[in-house]
Amino acid sequence: MQEPMTADWHRALDNALQAAELHGFHVIPLTVRKLPAIRSPHDKGHGCKGECGQLGHGIHDASSDPARIRAMFETARHATGYGIACGRPPHHLIGLDLDRKNGVNGVWELRKLAAQHDISVPRTVVISTPTGGFHAWWTGPADVKVPNRAGHLAPGIDVRGSGGYLVGPGSRSIRGLYALASLDDEVIVRPVPAKLLQLMTAGKDRPARPPMTDAKLHRADGGRLLVGLVQFVLDSAQGQRNDRLFWASCKAFEHAAAGRLDADAAAAALMRAAAVVGLPDSEAAATIGSARGEVLGAVK
């Protein structure tokens, strides 16, 4: 039975089509948790980026073709938003996610960074997020690959570059609606300042990740499948941890539903990984429980 098409689904599809047709953006449908809405047709560890011809390859599915966009949304009738791929021609979009929560203000951090490096930050397209933050969009040069990074420029500032995506205005997440914050006469994506681009692409050593000490983790049912999902959580940067934990948990419970993993063992392993990256037990348990309900709750 197909899921009903909600007002959020219609709005997300309409806005995605408009973003593609008017601006040439490449888009994908997103869930209420801001994740790609079409599940992968492959097992974890595959190297397919869409060559198989099926949908479900995340950002690799992104397209500006109206027919393909409609097909993706028809497949994902639970979608409540859309993502815009960064780094794709013609705009080579770059985004700054400016968080304002947990005592960190990414807007002020960007202002301090600009003053410190004598960067003139032009007015550009700005999207307001449901948690009080903002996404600032810029165009980038075609010959520069901007990596996705969390907290690299300053606390509360995440960079969305090649292989990443920005949540489009009109999308609804669990926290609320993403909306255009720019004035009508400022809805133009400006080129990224050269000095800011240099900072985005500059190298920076990553702190060593504390090792997992529980050997039982690697002996849990599922073998490499579970180890890969645990490693995905362990590689989380600040600001990514909860989203990565939810994605990994959903995949683990999908494998459990197919008989390839033990659900309880997977949940325990992911809880340990969440503790290593600093997520509170209560938050991790809620995220894993939500994923379990979403995947296994519908399994008869």
The reported pLDDT for the residue numbered 215 is 40
SS (H, E, C) the chain: CCCCCCHHHHHHHHHHHHHHHHHCCCEEEECCCCCECCCCCCCCCCCCCCCCCCCCCHHHHCECCHHHHHHHHHHCCCCCEEEEECCCCCCCEEEEEECEECCEEHHHHHHHHHHHCCCCCCCCCEEECCCCCEEEEEECCCCCCCCCEECCCCCCEEEECCCCEEECCCCEECCEECEECCCHHHCCCEECCHHHHHHHHCCCCCCCCCCCCCHHHHHCCCCHHHHHHHHHHHCCCCCCHHHHHHHHHHHHHHHHHCCCCCHHHHHHHHHHHHHHCCCCHHHHHHHHHHHHHHHHCCCC
| Beta-bridge partners for 157 | 98
How far is Cα of residue 141 from the mean position of the Cα atoms in its chain? Answer: 23
Q: Which of 115, 113, 194, 121 is nearest to 155 (CA)?
A: 113
Beta bridge partner(s), residue 134: 98, 128
How does pLDDT run across 41-51, given as a tens digit for each residue?
A: 887 667 788 88
Q: What is the pLDDT of residues 194-221, one digit of tens each?
A: 999 999 998 744 444 444 444 444 433 4
Q: Which pLDDT value is given to residue 186? A: 62
Q: What is the pLDDT of residue 5?
A: 67
Exposed / middle / buried, residue 37 (Cβ in 10 Å: 0-12, 13-18, 19+): buried
Ranges under pLDDT 70 in the chain:
1-5, 44-45, 102, 184-186, 204-223, 238, 297-300
